[in-house]
Amino acid sequence: MTTETMSTAMAAPRRAERSELMKQRVAAARWFLLPMMAALAVVAGWPLLRSIWFSFTDASLTDLYGSEFIGFGNYLRWTVLESGTVRYRGLLVDPAWWNAVWNTLRFAVISVSVEAVLGMIVALVLNAEFKGRGIVRAAILIPWAIPTIVSARMWGWMLNDQFGIINDILLNLGLISSKIAWTASPDTAMTAVLIVDIWKTTPFMALLILAGLQMIPKDIYEAAEIDGVHPIKQFFRITLPLVRPALMVAIIFRLLDALRIFDLIYVLTPNSVATKTMSVLARENLFDFDNFAYGSAMSTLLFLIIALMTILYIWLGRVRFDGGDR
Amino acid sequence: MTLKKLLVGMMASVTLVAGAAQAAELAIVSGDTGTGLAFLRSQLDKFEAETGHTVTVVPMPSSTSDQFGQYRLWLAAGNTDIDVYQTDVIWAPQLADQFLDLTEAAADIVDQHFPSIIESQTVDGKLVALPAFTDAPALFYRTDLLEKYGKSVPTTWAELEETAKEIMDGERAEGNQDMWGFVFQGNAYEGLTCNALEWVMSNGGGQIVEADGTISINNENAAAAVDRAAGWIGTISPEGNLAYQEEESRGVWQLGNSVFMRNWPYAYALGNGDDSGVKDKFDVAPLPAGDGEGARSAATLGGWNVAVSKYSTDPEAAIELAKFLASPEVQKERAINQSNLPTIEALYDDADVLEASPFMANWKEIFQNAVPRPSAPTKTDYNEVSSLFWSAVHNTLSGNGTAAENLELLEADLTDLKGSGW
């Protein structure tokens, strides 16, 4: 009884002290964060708000400042015809837009899934001890280090139907009987884009997963080995659960990237309806078609869709960015 | 930058003291293909020597659609870095507000040029750009192969199909598995609009949107023309042709792997280069005609112009440069070295030009059949019209629906786009 009162009595001022310290720290942190927040507001916040604003106007590139507010007209508007039928117009009923949304989602889901699996395999290999591991680790990063424009051009030539090396190799191996028009045919255009993207970003995935793998203490595996646990079981029971936080973060980074994919598709298969993504379509409307407001509406929806996907992913995957599971 | 300006200022004052004209630093953008950039540089060197100005070339991708997007962005932002733009013939109505009026500056030289070309660059009485060269495509054919198989130059698309098929099959039987009959520009971009406009127009199917603004594309002749082209893919043309722009088709052609090619005159000089596999083995003719009512050979009018940005920091020097690039001297050099067609009528009778590019004599005929793209009636909507058109054609070529279905949808889309008027 006495000890209890004593301990509470002693704890009370200490807690107060600590919260005072915490308050100071939080205040200091706020000051330190301020420049970054200000920079973000200028380079990200302001353009974002302006895009959203433009999406509610009839702005055109030749006359950005003379635009008028038209409400949700770019998203959805309707006219009632004399016969009484209602005709809907605008982004929300634009088949080109929904085709782009579908392309983007398909691209994001397939590329990120394949990259996660391949990245995991590469990471496991690189985590093993073997001679020349350092060189291999560096070498595997090369695709990631090449700028996308350059790698897209490079692959564009490699995938060229008449003088491309891919067709040449496949023909010589006897795997195909006639040259495939990889980027031209709507059946293979998406596959071509996926191949290049997977080639390019698997190293990034592998690197993030490798960092996670190296955090796993070795003694767990030693204990498992003494108990005679099969290596495959070790992977699913030890490695996977422990590397999960790192894997989830890696996937979310890639997913955000994949949802706004632009450069690769713009260079490799520009204008192909089979691969046109939301960003490509938004750019086309913004600059090529002089539909600046309509393109802004697309950018705004793109932003909302990415935000929604991220929230969904975090919620469903219970990802926590401070490490560990919820 | 300030240091640079200071230096330029000092240099300028020195030259001023010396009594010479003020030297300016200019920049020109160009998306030229083949050896075009090197040629431009050689001409600019002359200009620099003559005037004392310095000119930097900013190279751009060769796709006109890509260039346009970039230029529009720069101009909307009031970019002062670029003084002179090389512009496609179709851009004048869309970018007219951003370029200087050259009517006064060019008053003494406009009469030398073809009136139709000057007209295409005049928007509401304002001369937006000066013509540097004009362009009309032709049918390139292999003289050696036609001779070997005893064929004449096709004048209709049906003849072309037949000849191409026969020679292609013959050459393949002799072991050249990479041989094709016909290559053109089938990628989904502005070039496909040019190609398809020729198919449609040569078959009596109108020109997508007529001069008075009516949408004419949904008709039987047009559908038949596009369907016929769809039949080429995988038979006389490689499937990859669906992704070819000018340079890719020239690649196949110049390796000697195609009997026919539809391309612009620039491919003539390059095809006769020393590294070419078809050197002295080819010639050019007007594009074939269709067989519908009102069928005739048709060639899409192309061509490039030079325009001066209204944000240029030194408009006088920039106008001087534009006038230089449109001058008879440069156009003559261009015709000889680049086989680009002059916009100055007198040059078509010039002995030097005809010696270097004897085919140009025939171009007067092709010119008479030239069809403008509907950029004038559709105004700022032209790019979207063109994009809708090439998408509809590309869909048909790729086997997504028949031409009749796709053109009907296209008509509906164009009607929506047009609204109450272009």
Set of chain A residues whose Cβ sits within 8 Å of the Cβ of B381 = 289-290
Mean pLDDT of B11-27: 59
Who has greater pLDDT, A17 or B405?
B405
Q: CB A287 to CB B240 under 8 A?
A: no
List the domain range (segments joined by +) for residue B221.
138-297+378-418
Q: Please, which pLDDT band fits residue B293 given cuts at 50, 70 and 90?
A: confident
- As a whole number of angstroms, the distance between CA B271 and CA B277 comes to 8
Helix (H) or strand (E) holding B287: none
The share of chain A scoring above pLDDT 70, in percent, equals: 92
Helix (H) or strand (E) holding B31: none
Is residue B407's pLDDT more than 60? yes
CATH classification of the domain holding B76 = 3.40.190.10
Q: Kindly state whether residue B12 falls inside one of the protein's structural domains.
A: no
Is residue A22's pLDDT more than 60? yes
Mean pLDDT of chain B: 88
Set of chain B residues whose Cβ sits within 8 Å of the Cβ of A272 = 188
Write down the pLDDT at residue B16.
Answer: 43
Q: CB B65 to CB A163 under 8 A?
A: no
- As a whole number of angstroms, the distance between CA B48 and CA B321 comes to 10
Task: Give the distance from residue B73's alpha carbon to the nearest chain A alpha carbon, in angstroms.
Answer: 7
Is residue B188's pLDDT more than 50? yes
Q: Check residue B90 and report its DSSP letter.
A: T
Across B70-195, where does the E strand assignment appear? Answer: 84-88, 122-123, 126-127, 130-135, 138-142, 180-183
Tell me: do B254 and B399 sit in the same domain: yes
Set of chain B residues whose Cβ sits within 8 Å of the Cβ of A179 = 238-240
Out of A60, A162, A291, whose CB is closest to B252?
Answer: A162
Tell me: do B76 and B101 sit in the same domain: yes
Write down the pLDDT at residue A154.
Answer: 93
Q: Kindly state whether residue B1 falls inside one of the protein's structural domains.
A: no
Helices marked H in A84-178 — which ranges?
Answer: 95-127, 133-139, 142-145, 148-158, 165-172
Q: Could you give phi then psi for residue B381, rounded to 5 degrees? A: -85, 0
Tell me: do B192 and B124 sit in the same domain: no
Write down the pLDDT at residue B18.
Answer: 42
Set of chain A residues whose Cβ sits within 8 Å of the Cβ of B251 = 162-163
- As a whole number of angstroms, the distance between CA B24 and CA B21 comes to 9
Task: Name which of B74, B193, B383 to mutate to probe chain A: the one with the most chain A Cβ atoms within 10 A of its Cβ.
Answer: B383
CA nearest to B180, candidates B129, B124, B244: B244
In this complex, how many residue pairs, one in chain A and one in chain B, have their CB atoms less than 8 Å apart?
Answer: 94
What is the value of pTM for the model shown? 0.77
Tell me: do B270 and B414 sit in the same domain: yes
pLDDT digits (tens, 9 = 90+) for B138-167: 999 999 999 999 999 999 999 999 999 999
Q: Kindly state whether residue B211 falls inside one of the protein's structural domains.
A: yes
Who has greater pLDDT, B229 or B245?
B229
In this structure, of A37-46, A150-159, B217-226, B365-374, the range with the lowest mean pLDDT score is: B365-374
Tell me: do B383 and B245 sit in the same domain: yes
CA dihedral B413, B415, B419, B422 (to 10 degrees): 100
Q: Considering its fold, how many domains does chain B have in total? A: 2
Q: Kindly state whether residue B2 falls inside one of the protein's structural domains.
A: no
Across B46-185, where does the E strand assignment appear? Answer: 54-59, 84-88, 122-123, 126-127, 130-135, 138-142, 180-183
Q: Is B417 an 8 Å CB contact of chain A? A: no
Mean pLDDT of chain A: 86
Tell me: do B211 and B227 sit in the same domain: yes
Q: Kindly state whether residue B7 falls inside one of the protein's structural domains.
A: no
Q: Kindly state whether residue B15 falls inside one of the protein's structural domains.
A: no
Is residue A15's pLDDT more than 70? no
Sort B195 into a burial class: Cβ within 10 Å, 0-12 / 13-18 / 19+.
Answer: buried
In this structure, of A138-142, B17-21, B169-173, the range with the lowest mean pLDDT score is: B17-21
- As a whole number of angstroms, the distance between CA B311 and CA B24 comes to 15
Tell me: do B29 and B153 sit in the same domain: no
Task: Give the distance from residue A239's alpha carbon to the nearest chain B alpha carbon, in angstroms.
Answer: 45
Tell me: do B130 and B208 sit in the same domain: no
CA B54-B342-B377 angle, to 5 degrees, is 100
Write down the pLDDT at residue B73.
Answer: 86
Tell me: do B147 and B291 sit in the same domain: yes
Q: Kindly state whether residue B11 falls inside one of the protein's structural domains.
A: no
Q: CB A287 to CB B416 under 8 A?
A: no
Strand B299-300 with B370-371, pairing: parallel
- Residues in chain A whose beta carbon is closer than 8 A to a beta carbon of chain B? 60-62, 64, 89, 160-163, 179-181, 183-186, 269-273, 283-284, 287-291
Q: Does domain A105-317 have CATH number 3.40.50.2300?
A: no
Tell me: do B321 and B273 sit in the same domain: no
Q: How far is CA A175 from CA A155, A163, A196, in A?
A: 20, 17, 20
Is the complex ipTM more than 0.90?
Answer: no
Tell me: do B284 and B403 sit in the same domain: yes
Q: Kindly state whether residue B20 falls inside one of the protein's structural domains.
A: no
pLDDT digits (tens, 9 = 90+) for B348-405: 888 998 888 888 887 777 777 788 899 888 888 898 999 999 999 999 998 889 999 9
Is residue A326's pLDDT more than 90? no
Sort B238 into a burial class: Cβ within 10 Å, 0-12 / 13-18 / 19+.
Answer: buried
Sketch the domain layout of chain A as residue ranges.
105-317
Tell me: do B317 and B293 sit in the same domain: no
pLDDT digits (tens, 9 = 90+) for B43-71: 999 999 999 999 999 998 877 778 888 89
